[in-house]
Amino acid sequence: MAELPVEPLRIIERFGPHLSSMTGARLSTSVEPDRLVKTHCCFCGQQCGIQLKVRGNEVIGFEPWEEFPFNRGMLCPKGVKRYLQGSHPDRLVTALRRDPSSPSGFSPLPYDEAIARVAGEIARIQQTYGREAIGVLGGASLTTEKTYLLGKFARVCLRTPFIDYNGRLCMVSAGAANKKAFGIDRTTNPWSDMVGTDVIWVAGSNVAECSPITTNYIWQAREQGAKVIVQDPRITPIARMCDLYLPVKPGRDAALFAGVLQIMIERDWLDHEFIREHTSGFEQVAEYCREWTLARTADVTGVPQRALMQAAEWWGTATTSFLFHARGIEHHSNGVQNALGTINLVLASGRIGKAKSGYGTIVGQANGQGGREHGQKCDQLPGWRDISNPEHRRYIAGVWGIDEQDLPGPGVDAYELFRKIDRGEIKGLLSICFNPKVSLPDNSFITRCLEKLEFFTAIDFFLNDTAWHADVVLPGSLQEEDEGTVTQVEGRIIKINKAVDCPGEARQDWRIIQDIARALDRPAGFTFTDPREIFEELRVASKGGVADYSGVTYEKITEQLGVFWPCYSEDPATGAPIDNHPGTPRLFERGSYNPIAKGAGPFYFPDGRARFNVAEHRPPVDDADEEYPLYLTTGRVVSQFLSGTQTRRIGPLVRQYAEPRIEMHPRLADRLGIADGDWATAETRRGALTLRAQVVATIRPDTIFIPYHWPGRKSANQLTVAAQDPISKIPQYKVCGCRVRRADAPPDYAAVLEPQQ
């Protein structure tokens, strides 16, 4: 039974989101903290260093941590106010059970009873329908220790192949492209390498709002002579001051990259020596690009020829450069091709593996990097190993003390996992750090799937929108209530430090997972006593894999203020033990040794060469047409994060941007008779959504933008299409056909819901 126990408004009344504010010790200037805890922000993949002010068992404020080299004290508004997620009125302090007789739909349940109930239901479902009838969903905001444990729990304790994570919505297009092109999946250089470069190309990344700290690096590079190219359907704050803005039509990025590469080929702006010595596959790519003439590229992408020419000239003739991309080009059914298109531009220039020249994807979540390396992804084992590779399977089975035959094979992506629920193949779900009812596309389908589950367990610190459907909710931990590591945007492994204890009956997430394993009477391998112990096993499990953490220790992270992987405990060339490997800040340096190429070259393939891949343009699924003539694109605002479970509960962040709006160009608004602030209805083939219009000249006239952080009737993902990239399975959040009209009346929710609800 996973239907909602009571009306949504009753759940909201009790569990929020309500707003926290600065009160008590947090407002007083006479209260001194007991201690300052050096740690990192709980939100995005930049993972800014921050010091939390702690008094008793409460985080009462923050102090900038200016020594941490990545952000040197800088923070965005989310980082400044993140401390207000603690001591929150909505915080879950007991386990809950679904209870339609309770006014709020849920009743408290003693923790041990809750664990016994969860284990009992998992056992019942597995006995009745088979082991594979249980699915597990994880998330990339968890520490690497937790993601490792969750992957092991699914495979070893539950013995189900069906685990996946919310990085499926985030990092997988970049990851798949990196794997195909480089044989390794990590940003190539530390951000400090950006200052002093000639050209920075930002493709589909609203840096100012989604990774604000990167702004200063880009501005500083520009002060020292870099030209900045920004490719985006909107003039984001970073595009406003860039040197060349490419107003690309949503869903046409691969065409743009092919067209630019074609100009570079025609003008011979190529690094022939690099292409010859260090790559393969260039001829096929050049052959494909031939059809992308300047005129055709301009026509398809909506970017004028003069701008394409300028981009090609700056990129083609630079001596040093950086290229970044993010969800803007990755959230597409053509996401992997888009990312490969950028890589082709980088490889053709030869500017990689050097100081001041790099390539990378800007990760979205706290552990967007580390969370995709150690086994909560459906096709993966720790150390970035492949679950279908017999040698990899044997190694990990050995570390886990199981027979390789008992290790499940590859599962399915998170969206497919819901389709399996829909088809009745998966009957039970355990979810942590994932809010698919808000964050997955076409989310009314997700709601229907949740309603079909026989038993749904959610681990969470607030009751998120998906957990409304849960039979049992287990009270988990906030980031500041636990310790562990995460790997941030540069590939730098950093240490999260515990500031306070979990309140009430809440538990650290890794303890909850182990408690379930124990209650299932399968405790073997789940008897860790602290995160450090999990990390020590992870070091062994990652050893010899591409993402090799074997030389990383908590102490080394603290001393060095972060360690870039790979970091070896044995010299990959000689096998001799080394205890002081510093890590690898910069990948692919000429003459560098890696365990795959074994000296044959700098890239992670047996021949040491990077791969050009034909990066084909394919029009989006559900593209704009006569019936739905506009493009809908979605994204973030600076004061909110992902599905808003945390940020929609922090008063000052909600006040900054309270409710979603439909952003549209004045030309479009005039045509539709919509004025700024009017209620407008956006419709796609999945549904309709009524929000206030924001009329601004900073968006293409054929495109509307809606931020996705809100649930229910305000959720942008009611409209988005569940089309996925065939390789990465990332959903196509960034484009679908849509139409807009002036709303007949305010939406029903306007009278009953607070802005954040």
Partner 1 sequence: MPKPDELHFFIDPNRCIGCEACVQACTECDTHRGESMIHLEYVHRPESVQTVPVVCMHCDQPTCAEVCPADAIKRTGDGVVQSAVQPRCIACGNCVMACPFGVPELYEDRRIMMKCDMCYDRSSVGKKPMCATVCPSQALFFGTREQIDALRPLSAPINSFRFGAQTITTQVFLMVPRALTTRDSYVDVAAAMDEQPRNRGVSLKILPGDPFAAVEV
Residues that bind partner 1 (CB under 8 A): 22, 27-29, 61-62, 64, 66, 71, 73-77, 79-81, 208-209, 212-213, 215-216, 219-220, 222-224, 233-243, 245, 247, 298, 302-307, 638-639, 652-653, 656, 665-667, 676, 695-701
Residue 666: asked if its preceding bond is cis (omega within 30°), the reply is no
* Residue whose CB is less far from partner 1, 36 or 80: 80
Minimum gap (Å) between residue 498 Cβ and partner 1: 22
Instruction: Determine phi and psi for 170, rounding to 5 degrees.
Output: -140, -65
Q: How far apart (Å, rounded) are the C-alpha atoms in residues 200 and 242?
A: 10
Specify whether the CB–CB gap between 369 and 362 falls below 8 A: no
Minimum gap (Å) between residue 26 Cβ and partner 1: 9
Chain centroid to CA 208: how far?
A: 17
* Residue whose CB is less far from partner 1, 211 or 344: 211
Minimum gap (Å) between residue 483 Cβ and partner 1: 25
Minimum gap (Å) between residue 247 Cβ and partner 1: 5
Q: Report H helices in 38-99.
A: 77-81
Burial of 7 (0-12, 13-18, 19+ CB in 10 A): exposed
Residue 752 DSSP symbol: T
* Residue whose CB is less far from partner 1, 62 or 400: 62
Chain centroid to CA 474: how far?
A: 24
Minimum gap (Å) between residue 299 Cβ and partner 1: 11
Please name which of 645, 655, 713, 654 lies closest in space to residue 681, comparing C-alpha atoms: 713
Minimum gap (Å) between residue 304 Cβ and partner 1: 5
Minimum gap (Å) between residue 74 Cβ and partner 1: 5
* Residue whose CB is less far from partner 1, 107 or 215: 215
Q: Coil, helix or strand for 37?
A: strand
Minimum gap (Å) between residue 196 Cβ and partner 1: 13
Q: Coil, helix or strand for 613?
A: coil
Query: Helix, strand, coil shares of the chain as percentages rounded to 5?
Result: 35, 20, 45
* Residue whose CB is less far from partner 1, 53 or 581: 53
Rounded alpha-carbon distances, angstroms, from residue 95 to 111, 116, 196, 515: 6, 12, 53, 13
* Residue whose CB is less far from partner 1, 107 or 698: 698
Specify whether the CB–CB gap between 482 and 531 falls below 8 A: yes
Minimum gap (Å) between residue 462 Cβ and partner 1: 21
Question: Which amino acid is present at 270?
Answer: L
* Residue whose CB is less far from partner 1, 239 or 323: 239
Residue 720 DSSP symbol: S
Minimum gap (Å) between residue 91 Cβ and partner 1: 22
Joined tokens for residue 388: 């279908």
> How long is the chain?
757
* Residue whose CB is less far from partner 1, 220 or 569: 220
Q: Coil, helix or strand for 610?
A: strand
DSSP 499-547: -SPPPTT---HHHHHHHHHHHTT--TT---SSHHHHHHHHHHHHTTSSS
Please name which of 754, 752, 630, 604 lies closest in space to residue 702, comparing C-alpha atoms: 630
Specify whether the CB–CB gap between 551 and 581 falls below 8 A: yes
Minimum gap (Å) between residue 696 Cβ and partner 1: 6
* Residue whose CB is less far from partner 1, 231 or 349: 231
DSSP 651-688: HHHHHHS-S-EEEE-HHHHHHHT--TT-EEEEE-SS-E
Question: Which amino acid is present at 147?
Answer: T
* Residue whose CB is less far from partner 1, 29 or 580: 29
Q: How far apart (Å, rounded) are the C-alpha atoms in residues 26 and 48?
A: 21
* Residue whose CB is less far from partner 1, 230 or 547: 230
